[in-house]
Amino acid sequence: MATTPTELSWAQVHAFRLQRHHLTRRAPKKDLAKVGGEIGGAQAQLMSAAELQIATRVDCKVADVREALWQERSLVKTWLMRGTLHLAA
């Protein structure tokens, strides 16, 4: 059975991407590591940039991102896309 393609406006595409990247509504703090995985990692060549990327998307402070990385170990710092450092779940 053939399916009919769905037509989307650019506004709908942009809205979908903003939602999937947790930029329309901040996720709860308990989902900090989950968000790190859902966005495919936060670019971390500069740690402050990675901390802000995640703290923007999650209802938390930068200190919570550091704690997830260094104490809880729910985030890891590793090389991902294009051989650059990222924080990932």
Q: Is residue 20 part of a domain?
A: no
Q: What is the pTM of this model?
A: 0.83
Around 65, how many Cα atoms within 13 Å sit in the side-chain half-sphere?
25
Quick one: pLDDT at residue 4? 75
User: CA-to-CA distance for 56 and 85, rounded, in angstroms?
Assistant: 19
Range of the domain at 82: 27-88
The pairing of beta strand 42-43 with beta strand 85-88: antiparallel
* Count of C-beta atoms within a 10 Å radius of residue 3: 5
Q: Is residue 2 part of a domain?
A: no
Q: Is the pLDDT of residue 54 over 80?
A: yes
Quick one: pLDDT at residue 61? 96
Which of 45, 66, 70 is CA-nearest to residue 55?
66
Mean pLDDT confidence for 52-62: 96
Domains held by the chain: number: 1
